Amino acid sequence: MSKSIFQKIIDREIPAKLAHEDDLCIAIHDISPQAPVHVLVIPKKLIPRVNEATAADQATLGHLLLTAAALAKKLGVAETGYRLVINNGRDGGESVPHLHVHLLGQRPLAWPPG
């Protein structure tokens, strides 16, 4: 199985603009931002999608959300508001089979999302 673009970024095979990195995850600025702040928080462990996560992934999943919240503060969107998005499957908008959390902010976000 070939590596996803996120695995290549984690392995430093292709460059990305880093927002954060620790032992469990990496956060990068999206190359096609949908808001002025659009960061992807990606686990270093390959979890193809949230639907395939297991109980063993619980700590990693929680870490992704806490990291996104910390980044929202760091990037100045925590006070005004932001959205976290996880896409799962084709109809959910998943384009890369590697779980990741989108952090979107710094503009009003409509509901329901498109």
Residue 86 lies in a domain: yes
Query: Which residues, including other chains, have CB under 8 Å from residue 93's CB and lie 6 or more apart?
Result: 87
Mind telling me the catalytic residues? 100
Can you tell me the distance from the alpha carbon of 82 to that of 55, in angstroms, rounded to the nearest whole number?
Answer: 27
Residue numbers of the domain that contains 22: 5-105
Residue 94 lies in a domain: yes
Q: What is the pLDDT of residues 9-53, one digit of tens each?
A: 999 999 999 999 999 999 999 999 999 999 999 999 999 999 999
Model's pTM, two decimal places? 0.95
Residue 110 lies in a domain: no
Q: How many domains does the chain have?
A: 1
Residue 62 lies in a domain: yes
Residue 111 lies in a domain: no
What CATH number does residue 26 fall under? 3.30.428.10
Report CA-CA distances (Å) from 6 to 14, 48, 88, 97, 114: 9, 11, 16, 9, 24
CB 38 within 8 A of CB 30: yes
Residue 113 lies in a domain: no
Residue 114 lies in a domain: no
